[in-house]
Structure 1
Amino acid sequence: MLPGVPLSDLRKVADRASQMLVNVRESMLAPHPRKKSPVFTTSQVAALCRVERKKVIYSWDKPELGLPPGIANNRTREFSLAETRVWIDKLGPFIKRPDGTKGKKIAIGNFKGGVAKTTTAMTLAQGLSLHGRRVLIIDLDPQASLTALTGTLADSEVEEEQTVLPLIYGEEDDVKYAIQPTYWDGVDLIAASAALFSAEFYLPFKQSKDPHFEFWNVLNKGLEPVLEEYDVVIIDTPPALSYMTINAFMAADALIVPTPPSALDYASSTQFWNLFADLADNMKGLVPDVEQKRYDFIHVLLSKVDSSLASTHAVRDWINRTYESFVLPIEIPTTTVTASAAAEFGTVYDISKYDGSNRTYQRAREAYDRFAEMIDQELVALWQAQKESA
């Protein structure tokens, strides 16, 4: 027998890994629907609506307001996420997207894995939904981590027809066929699976056969018909400069780059910007009007920040000096809350009640809340500018 590991053994490992993931997920998550959105107390609903608690108590007994009363639970009441979003819509101070304006597309990108790219996409979607927004999340990564965060296993629960592949192949003209609801009210999903790898072969092949084919513009065209239905489209990209990443970047109105303040991640981020700049230069030869491409904003988000590490302060300074105004004045800390939530295929927003230190939970939650609020304010400003220029 020849030494080493034959390729045939890889299938055995893959099968065991898939089964183990199913077992782990089933042990951590409740039966179908396996993921459940959190419930909210009266105080939490008031905080999300930016009103005093007594106003919520006063309002739920007013049928003319059309507000769901929740369910009495001992001395308080509990509200589902869907009910809470009704309260936010009715009482919240958030400016709605003006008629005649379209939703904005935000790509979350970085060419290195493990930088909290997928967590950033999911928490931003959840946070914006709590501002009354309707959000579509698109998973373009064959690893399907964003899909997993919605409680869906790509290898056993996602068919090719639920991904963007029919759009890529030209079998569909827009992405409506692939949109599915998630456990989180206000957030819909276009899922991913390992089948997305085939797009990396099909797009250049089609381009070589058809000089009029615009491989970089497929996703952009497919999203256009849904931009009146959603306030925000958030696109989670693969950790590589792939054809799918190019489609996401060319379709996006804005870009967010999560970057942990570690030396290795900082070094990797320089490669991201160099490759991104090379892409822009190369696209000039393919797209005559590429110079007209403008991003409404580009943000570098400091993620997975561990302030207890001495190196964090130095690398943070490097990042600020390098990216200057691109750096958001918000940092996402690494905490036991985020770690425990990730271990259960969730985020801080999935936690109804944290068993550990409330101070630790609030520190993590407040960072994501501030991040979502800042992005929401930018979206409102862009919509208003769009309406005024119409």
Structure 2
Amino acid sequence: MSIALQSIKELVQRSVLLEENLKANFNAPNNQRVLDKRWPMSEVQGFVGRTDEGIRNAEDRGALPKPDMNERNNRRKGYTLPQINYMREQFGTHPRRSPTEDDVSIIAVQNFKGGVGKSTCATHLSHYLARQGYRVLLVDCDSQATATRFFGYNPDQDLKESDTLLSYLAGDTQHLRNAVRDTHWEGLKLIPANLHLYAAEYMIAGRAQANSSDQIYSLLRNGLDTVKNDFDVVIIDAPPALGMISLNVLYASNSVIVPMLPSMPDFYSTIQFFTMLEEVLEHFPEDMTYDFVKVLITRKESRTEGTSSQDDISEDAAAFYGDYMMRSIFYKSRAIENASSEARTIFEVNSPKDIGVDSKTFRRGIETVEDVCGEIEGYIRNTWPSEQRRNAGRVANA
């Protein structure tokens, strides 16, 4: 029995119903996702840069509001992200770039092969940096819109073409401000994507043919120039293919993270990625540079469950790529996968039982992501002259 067009249409209709059912289960009413995560004092003092005693003293003297208390046991409920950011404001500990000294860090998470954990990495990194107190913009440039779904959207139903990069890349608008939207994470904004964004591949080429003065690879950079001063870090989830949008992502970025699975086919794909990147950069202006380019091993089995082939490839990659290789590994984790199946990052999960894992599995998942994102945070801060100056001062005073 052949599958005719009518059958495909029926499959689409059934898929839409399934998606609506999943959306009803995992999203808040009215499609307004809420971050109900609360962090305990043991973590908050590290986020804020003050001791438990210092925070409690500030609460006692009225510099901070009294914490929310659990009526059953009269214990603190934990702190929400807006409460943590308010503490940072009062203590002056927001980890922000200097607007006069530091450039915005624009990081492309990119490989020309799908299934390497690109969107998972981009969304976790954006949530991590927002939790740390940075002002973050996540730009979804992939028409599959996986990253956009993490923010509670059904991209092809909830979003119009004008809600994405498409209007700007097509030349219909002169700035990206209208595409930037708030998210349920304070300090984190999103430029979403949907399937229509794929049309930008043809529109960008059409603009170049119509006006030879248009630099087809600089459109996204010019667009980000209209909004980037509002942020410390911009993260770009790039499409898994070399096309017009990918060229724009590479030119708009000043840093690149390259996710790679520890398998031979992915190793070869990463080699091809760098070969194509070399060819592409030769057509960019000579002063085009990156602050850092790092290869990140993703979806590797845990240390106790790792296969010898995965270990061998990871070790070979580290040996040959050297300083271009990230020390941390984005290990495969059932906690991360279970959270992702509900379009959440692990940072949004309050309890291991919420995603059907034990506390040890949950803790390992958190540690994996924090190791990776913390290392990237270090790379970001090392590119800022203000941070370099502060570090030099600390050494001089030691």
Residue of structure 1 in register with 2:4 after alignment = 6
> Which residue matches 2:395?
none
Task: State the match for 2:66 in structure 1.
Answer: 69
Compute the displacement of 1:6 (Å).
3.2
CA distance in structure 1 between the aligned counterparts of 2:286 and 2:69, rounded to whole angstroms: 58
Q: How far, CA to CA, are the matches of 1:33 and 1:60 in structure 2?
A: 35
CA deviation profile, 1:20-72 (whole Å, cap 9, x unmatched)? 11211212333235532112222232232244333332222232x3x343311
Q: 1:148 to 1:68 in 2, by over 3 A?
A: farther
In the alignment, structure 2 segments of 5+ residues that lack a partner are 390-398
Alignment partner, residue 87 of structure 1: 87
> Which residue of the partner structure matches residue 58 of structure 1?
57
Deviations 1:100-136 (A, max 9, x none): 2442211110111111100111111111112210000
Cα distance change, pair 6–205 in 1 and its aligned pair in 2 (3 A): farther
Q: Distance in 1 between matches of 2:95 and 2:44?
A: 18
Counterpart AA for 2:313:
V
User: Structure 1 pair 94/79, CA: closer, same or farther in 2 (3 Å)?
Assistant: closer
Aligned to 2:229: 228
Contact 1:136 1:234 in 2 (8 A): yes
Residue of structure 1 aligned with 2:291, choices 290, 296, 309: 296
- List per-residue Cα deviations over 1:284-337 (Å, max 9, x = no partner): xxx5xx221000000111111203222211110222133221111111111221
Report the Cα offset of residue 263 of structure 1.
2.5
Matched, 1:260 2:261: yes
Count of residue correspondences: 378
Identify which range, 373-382 or 217-226, moves more after superposition: 373-382
Identity over aligned pairs, percent = 25
In the alignment, the residues of structure 1 paired with residue 334 and residue 388 of structure 2 have an alpha-carbon distance, to the nearest angstrom, of: 43
SS at structure 1 position matched to 2:317: helix
Instruction: Please identify, of 324-333 and 35-44, the stretch whose mean Cα deviation from structure 2 is larger.
Output: 35-44
Instruction: Render the CA deviation track for 1:249-278: whole Å, top value 9, x for unaligned.
Output: 100010001112122322222222222223
* In 1, Cα distance between equivalents of 2:3 and 2:193: 30
- How far apart, in 2, do the equivalents of 1:213 and 1:161 lie? 21
Deviations 1:68-104 (A, max 9, x none): 4331113223222211222244448564311324422
In structure 1, C-alpha distance between the alignment counterparts of 2:319 and 2:94, rounded to whole Å: 34
In structure 1, stretches of 5+ residues that fail to align are none
User: How far apart are the structure 2 equivalents of 1:175 and 1:310?
Assistant: 47
Partner-residue secondary structure (3-state), 1:196 = helix
CA distance in 2, matches of 1:70, 1:223: 39
Say whether the 8 Å CA contact 1:33–1:183 is kept in structure 2. Answer: no
Aligned-partner Cα distance in 2 for 1:381–1:255: 15
Distance 1:5 1:246, change over 3 A: same
What's the counterpart of residue 123 of structure 1? 124
Correspondence for 1:352: 350
Q: CA RMSD in A?
A: 2.1
Could you report, residue by residue, the CA deviation over 1:229-256 in whole angstroms, capped at 9, with x for unpaired residues? 1001110011111211111110001000
Relative distance call for 1:273 and 1:99 in structure 2 (3 A) is closer
**Does 68-77 or 146-155 show the bigger shift?**
68-77
Pairing 1:323–2:321 present: yes
- Range that drifts further, 375-384 or 344-353: 375-384
Deviation of the 1:202 alpha carbon: 1.1
| Structure 1 pair 340–387 and aligned structure 2 pair: CA distance change class (3 A) | closer
Corresponding position of 1:202: 203
Q: Which is further off, 370-379 or 159-168?
A: 370-379
Deviation, structure 1 residue 8: 4.9
Specify the alignment match of 1:367 in structure 2.
Answer: 368
TM-score by length of 1: 0.90
What corresponds to 2:46 in structure 1? 47
- The residue number in structure 2 matching 1:247 is 248
Closer, same or farther in 2 for the Cα pair 1:347/1:178, shift >3 Å? same
Aligned to 1:292, the other structure's residue is in SS state coil
